[in-house]
Structure 1
Amino acid sequence: MHDVPLHCGLGLRRGLMTELLALEQSDVDFLECAPENWIGVGGVHGRQFAQLAERYPLVCHGLSLSLGGSLPLDRRLLEQTRVFLERYGVRHFSEHLSYCCDDGHLYDLLPIPFTDEAVRAVAARIRQAQDLLQRRIAVENISYYAAPYQAMSELDFILAVVAEADCDLLVDVNNITVNACNHGYDAQAFLRGLPIARVTGMHVAGHFDQASDLKIDSHGSAVSDNVWSLFALATARFGRRPTVLERDFNYPPLADLLQEVAHMRAIQREMAHE
């Protein structure tokens, strides 16, 4: 069962646990979770997680490695993550191209300066993480609202990091949509600039339109039409990559989420060139 193709997935959230346990086997191909939310968890939640991991393949998306930070990488977390990934046969692991620690967790994903120095520093940390995890990882383009310094564009920064680190890329289509609006660039041009061979997965999610020129990456609403349109173009460019519908709060009925997953699947079938 865990060798099936991974096309359409849903984020595994504790707030959705009851609904996820009621899923039909064919509703989704896989579930995505953050390892640090489940490492060492026992009791009812641990048993429920084990049930889902038995039924569905897992992919993992980390929250806490702080690849763009200045503090040493958390070797204990990396070792725990490596064991977790091996235990559950996880095929794909990704992390955010950001930082979240500075003498303690900041509980946010903060942008890295777009500089040559940052490229070298972050790429070295990604290579170290890959060595400690004993696998390639993908890094995800994040949403951001202010950048500390930009000597190059966001696109050029991402391209430089993944090339120097020799890692993969998780394309968050919603984040591209949000950033393109907030920072005034062409979302389609950004998408066309990403390297096809390095893309191993995608995310789609909802955002909040604060104003005509300000979108907030909320993960608390349905996926918008412009994100779906960009996802169609991404699928046409990159092929049918494992894609996760992210929903973090304000959960609708499960039927509504599954409608979005079904829409994702329909786009993949129509647009994928494979």
Structure 2
Amino acid sequence: MAVKLQGAGLGLRREMLDDVLPVLPGNVDFWEVAPENWIPLGGKYREDFNRCVKQAVFTTHGLSLSIGGPDPLDHRFLQELKHFLDRYNIELYSEHLSYCSAEGHLYDLMPIPFTEEAVSYIAQRVKVVQDILERPLVLENVSYYIAPNQQLTELEFINAVLSEASCKMLLDVNNVYVNSINHRYDPYAFIDGLPSERIVYGHIAGHYEEAEDLRVDTHGSDVIKPVWDLLAHSYRKHHVFPTLLERDFNIPALEVLLDEVQRIKQIQQAVSAEQQGVA
């Protein structure tokens, strides 16, 4: 049986393999990969990945499911994905609450209209995915820059999808912060409105300040203090959930990444101590 996530994790990219092998850093509790980036690979990449999964707990965060898209679900991909998850004994598969295909792949994450119709459509597709994978689908709140045909708030939409689809949530704290600036809402109130029992794990990352009222989710810089503070609040409001550092661009030295992973651990430990009444 797969081991459950705990502690602080780091996203694994192929260009990091030489730095993290032959022995994975011991202070990273779990690792995350995009399965699309590994499924087609053989040779040395597959050998290296095999070495990695034998040493640590792994989870997955997909890129191309397109759970809210108009195109039919890609059943061939879902079978390949199930084989990948089974082969490496990976328990969780997470994806974005968005879409990335419409008569072909769009190569970007597009915002789903916040409507009741979209909620029902997504819920039906989630159940199909879960039946095929024989695993829960964990959906991540995404950053978005326009809200087409909006009838519900972002928070109402997310809560409705989680409830109707009976699925779990990956809470991306940086996305909440980015959206709160771009769409002018209180990120703390947003966090407070989420269902604690649905949150399985979290993401934290850096972003780019395009303007005073515009943030762009890039995963290409260090996490800033307001986002760290929002993470601590999320732990206090809900529970100290496993949390992963995402860094996809401008990747610094491994030591810098490990320092941020350690900061996640420090916040987790501090909040746990508060909740247990330890001075």
- Fold shared per TM-score above 0.5: yes
Q: Does 1:198 align with 2:198?
A: yes
1:24-65 CA-to-partner distances (Å, cap 9, x unmatched) read 542201110011111131122121111111111110111111
Tell me the secondary structure at the aligned position of residue 65 of structure 1: coil
Answer yes or no: is the 8 Å Cα contact 2:5–2:57 preserved in 1: no
Q: 1:136 offset after TM fit, Å?
A: 1.0
CA distance in 2, matches of 1:89, 1:241: 21
Matched with 1:113 is: 113
Matched with 1:246 is: 246
Q: 1:157 offset after TM fit, Å?
A: 0.2
CA distance in 1, matches of 2:134, 2:226: 37
Q: What is the one-letter code of the residue matched to 2:158? A: I
Matches within 5 A, 1:1-274: 3=3, 6-21=6-21, 24-272=24-272, 273=275
CA distance in 1, matches of 2:5, 2:127: 27
CA distance in 2, matches of 1:121, 1:189: 27
Q: Alpha carbons of 1:5 and 1:76: their partners in 2 closer, same or farther (altered >3 Å)?
A: closer
Q: 1:240 offset after TM fit, Å?
A: 2.3
Structure 1 range deviating more: 248-257 or 2-11 = 2-11
CA distance in 2, matches of 1:235, 1:15: 32
Q: 1:241 offset after TM fit, Å?
A: 1.6
CA distance in 2, matches of 1:265, 1:122: 34
Tell me the secondary structure at the aligned position of residue 73 of structure 1: coil
Q: 1:91 offset after TM fit, Å?
A: 2.2
Tell me the secondary structure at the aligned position of residue 89 of structure 1: coil
Answer yes or no: is the 8 Å Cα contact 1:137–1:167 preserved in 2: yes
Structure 1 range deviating more: 18-27 or 137-146 = 18-27
- Identity among equivalent pairs (%): 48
Q: 1:4 offset after TM fit, Å?
A: 7.1
Q: What is the one-letter code of the residue matched to 2:180? A: A
Divergent runs of 4+, >6 A:
none
CA distance in 2, matches of 1:142, 1:256: 25
Q: 1:20 offset after TM fit, Å?
A: 2.1
CA distance in 1, matches of 2:4, 2:201: 16
Alignment RMSD (CA, Å): 1.6
Answer yes or no: is the 8 Å Cα contact 2:4–2:91 preserved in 1: no
Structure 1 range deviating more: 202-211 or 41-50 = 41-50
CA distance in 2, matches of 1:57, 1:154: 32
Structure 1 range deviating more: 191-200 or 77-86 = 77-86
CA distance in 1, matches of 2:173, 2:145: 16
CA distance in 2, matches of 1:6, 1:79: 28
Q: 1:102 offset after TM fit, Å?
A: 1.1
Q: Alpha carbons of 1:90 and 1:149: their partners in 2 closer, same or farther (altered >3 Å)?
A: same
CA distance in 2, matches of 1:241, 1:187: 18
List gaps (5 residues or longer) in structure 2: none
CA distance in 2, matches of 1:79, 1:183: 38
List gaps (5 residues or longer) in structure 1: none
Tell me the secondary structure at the aligned position of residue 174 of structure 1: helix
CA distance in 2, matches of 1:96, 1:21: 29
Q: What is the one-letter code of the residue matched to 1:85? A: L
Answer yes or no: is the 8 Å Cα contact 2:3–2:91 preserved in 1: no
CA distance in 2, matches of 1:4, 1:27: 17
Answer yes or no: is the 8 Å Cα contact 1:25–1:55 preserved in 2: no
